[in-house]
Amino acid sequence: MLTLEEARKFFKKDAYASKYAGGYIEDVSYEFSRCSLNIEKKHLNAAGFIHGGAVFTLGDFAFAVAANCSYGLTVSLSNQITFHRSTSGSKLYAEASILNRGKTTCFYYVKIYDDLGANIATMTINGYIKKDPLPL
């Protein structure tokens, strides 16, 4: 299990989610993480709403943090996202929590909400646990 500081250090290497998208790790514990994203102009679609890809990236990042910090190298097998609404807020949060874990697979639920308390999307993610240590 990685500590919060170890997780932040490791996931800085995830240039897409951390650097380009702006994902930030708020909290991590065994089989759980909470990540955030400050909404900027680069996250908006042509209509001026939060882009679905930005929402998906944050949810996938939260899963990656929770699973990799808990089990070692874990990769996504499948993702399913349901969008509930757009946001009027300025920040998104994603909380990933375990639903089930087998010997080599895990299944997570991710709740994505904004700083105003609105539910924006939910995801379910199936992951493959490679059991390799993280390349710290």
Phi, psi of 131 (to 5 degrees): 70, 10
Do 75 and 130 touch, CB atoms closer than 8 A? yes
For 57-108, how does the pLDDT look when each residue is reduced to its tens digit (9 = 90+)?
Answer: 999 999 999 999 999 999 999 999 999 999 999 999 999 999 999 999 999 9
Domain residue ranges of the chain, discontinuous segments joined by +:
4-129
Rounded to an integer, what distance in angstroms lies between the CA atom of residue 31 and that of residue 71?
8
Provide the whole-model pTM. Answer: 0.95
Sign (positive/negative) of CA torsion 60, 61, 67, 68? Answer: positive
Q: Is the pLDDT of residue 43 over 90?
A: yes
Q: Is the pLDDT of residue 48 over 80?
A: yes
What is the reported pLDDT for 72? 92
What is the reported pLDDT for 109? 98
What is the reported pLDDT for 134? 79
Q: The domain at 4-129 falls in which architecture? A: Roll (3.10)
